[in-house]
Amino acid sequence: MADKKFRLKIVTPMKTVVDKDVTMVIMESVDGQLGVLANHEPLATVLANSTLRYYDAEKIEYMSLFGGFAEINQNELIILADIAECPSEIDAERARRAEERARRRLDEAKADVDEMRAKVALRKALVRLELSGQALTTEKTKP
């Protein structure tokens, strides 16, 4: 892995969640997975609801991101997210119940069910379960 570092800032409307030097970030944009190292070309992208991982000299950290944008410029990655959660903030049982509710809504397929909203709720629940370590695998099929 690269020894060179760059600045990672993850900001939500409530607070700055992360502000530190890292060696690599793996995140998922709406166009696919993206890896960032020091001296990355400038880029702006819309983020998918997913788990982000970042590396520093000692460990790998994980975070769920829901809604947001990422901008890479001058050895700095700034992520503006609606919600950013670390594993200790995830209530796995609540996420499991949300997954069940979303799957029921999608299975019912009634005219009054907002299918897109149910798919987003399902994706959020799956991301949270993955982050909490309660999911069966990290290679899930996206809804």
Whether pLDDT at 115 is above 80: no
Q: For residue 4, how many other CB atoms are within 10 A of its CB?
A: 12
Phi and psi of 48, rounded to 5°? -90, 160
Q: Domain limits of the chain?
A: 6-87, 91-132
Listed in sequence order, the residues at least 6 apart from 102 whose beta carbon sits closer than 8 Å to its beta carbon are 118, 119, 121, 122, 125
Measured distance CA(93)–CA(104) in Å, rounded: 17
CA-CA-CA-CA torsion sign (13, 29, 21, 64): positive
Whether pLDDT at 66 is above 50: yes
**Domains 6-87 and 91-132 equal at CATH topology level:** no
Four-way CATH pick for 6-87: 2.60.40.1080, 2.60.15.10, 3.30.43.10, 3.30.420.40: 2.60.15.10
Query: Average pLDDT, stretch 8-29?
Result: 95
Place of tokens 């907002």: 114
Q: How sure is the predictor about 99, in pLDDT bands with cuts at 50, 70 and 90?
A: confident
Locate all alpha helices (DSSP H) within 16-114, ordered by sequence. Answer: 92-108
Let me know if 81 is exposed, middle or buried by CB neighbors in 10 A (0-12, 13-18, 19+). buried
Q: What is the pTM of this model?
A: 0.73
Q: How sure is the predictor about 113, in pLDDT bands with cuts at 50, 70 and 90?
A: low
Q: Which residues pair with 10 in a beta bridge?
A: 18, 79
- Can you name the CATH fold of 91-132? 1.20.5
Place of tokens 């397929």: 109
